[in-house]
Amino acid sequence: MWTERRRLLLGAGALLAQAALPGAARAIAAGGPPETQQPGALRIAVYADFPPYSYKGKGVDVALGKALADKLGLRAEFVEFQPGEDMSDDLRNMVWRGHYLGTRPADVMLHVPVDARFAAQNDKVAIFGPYHLETMAVARDPARLPPVAGSAAAGLEVFTRELIGAEVDSHASDFLMQVLNGRLRGNVRHFRTPALAVEALERGEIAAVLGTHTELQAALAGSGRYALDRLALPELRVAQWPLGMAVKAEATPLAEALGRALGELQRSGAVARLFAEQGLSLTAP
């Protein structure tokens, strides 16, 4: 079950970095693909059971991984994994050391928050290459609720009367349970995934869902009945964060090659097209 392990950063309110790995823009001398664990292949770690990003060999992170490998002249090889206790565990298990159960690390891991403080705490990896800015959002029934705006006292007061859903053990859940001195707790309903919360919204069991914009957009699947608003309450300390990738700290040539490949995909519009093909909106970091 995906439980937004990203929240170790979100709850801490860390400042989000927009910069890539120092030196990642440096050109690499021609001479073929960068060195990887297995010649001719790029082993890519993505989260399992995490639509619309990565699930059963599909998702926008999988599509991006394939595009990056193709740019490097390599075959994409994916390893889907369940999250650990926090993202530092994930980086240890999937990037720089390997899992104690025997899973060997990948060449690169996708869906890593590009965050200066978090990067400093994980110096065995290089975090770089932001490709999408994830944001918090509210999916709501406009017939029942106005847009959530202003301060939490004004924008969320309606949820002292209406029910709102959130994924269990997520940044959204933590925020709703704590904001306004806990006044909303009795009206927060928890679900295993954002998609299940949206199903409850569609059945009329709740009036809104708080979660990430990309996951909610996918769950709504273009439905015109519900509104999807990005959330920017002042009390929500972190409302957005850029997603990037990570390699071993010493894998500088690979990081540079991936950074260059990503830049080419971004400039050509290919990254935006990958998102659009999944019915998603890319927000450039």
Q: Please check whether residues 145 and 124 belong to one and the same domain.
A: no
Write the CA distances from 45 to 19, 118, 245, integer angstroms: 22, 19, 10
Domain hosting 81: range is 7-133+241-277
Looking at residue 43, its pLDDT comes to 97
Query: What does the angle CA 185 – CA 230 – CA 208 come to, to the nearest 5 degrees?
Result: 40
Residues 213 and 263 in one domain: no
The crossing angle, in degrees rounded to 10, of helices 60-71 and 252-267 is 110
What is the model's pLDDT at position 223?
80
189 and 82 in a common domain: no
Say if 284 falls within a structural domain.
no
Q: Which of 230, 251, 268 is the last residue of a domain?
A: 230
Q: Based on the domain organization, do 119 and 145 belong to the same domain? A: no
CB neighbour burial string for 27-66, b if at least 16 within 10 angstroms, e if fewer: eeeeeebbebeeeeebbbbbbeebbbbbbeeebbbbbbbb
**Contact indicator for 94, 109 with CB cutoff of 8 Å:** yes
Specify whether the CB–CB gap between 254 and 36 falls below 8 A.
yes
Does residue 236 lie within any of the structural domains?
A: no
How much is the pLDDT for 10? Answer: 38
**In terms of domains, do 126 and 151 share one?**
no
Name the DSSP class of 95: I
282 found inside a domain: no
CATH of the domain at 152: 3.40.190.10
Tell whether 160 and 87 lie within a shared domain.
Answer: no
Together in a domain, 164 and 97: no
- Tokens 């996951």 -> residue: 215
Query: Based on the domain organization, do 25 and 129 belong to the same domain?
Result: yes
162 and 24 part of one domain: no
Q: Are residues 68 and 161 in the same domain?
A: no
Same domain for 127 and 260, yes or no, is yes
Low-confidence ranges of the chain (pLDDT < 50): 1-30
Rounded CA-CA distance 66/1 in Å is 24
Cβ partners under 8 Å of residue 134, min gap 6? 212, 213, 214, 240, 241, 242, 243, 283
Quick check: pTM over 0.75?
Answer: yes
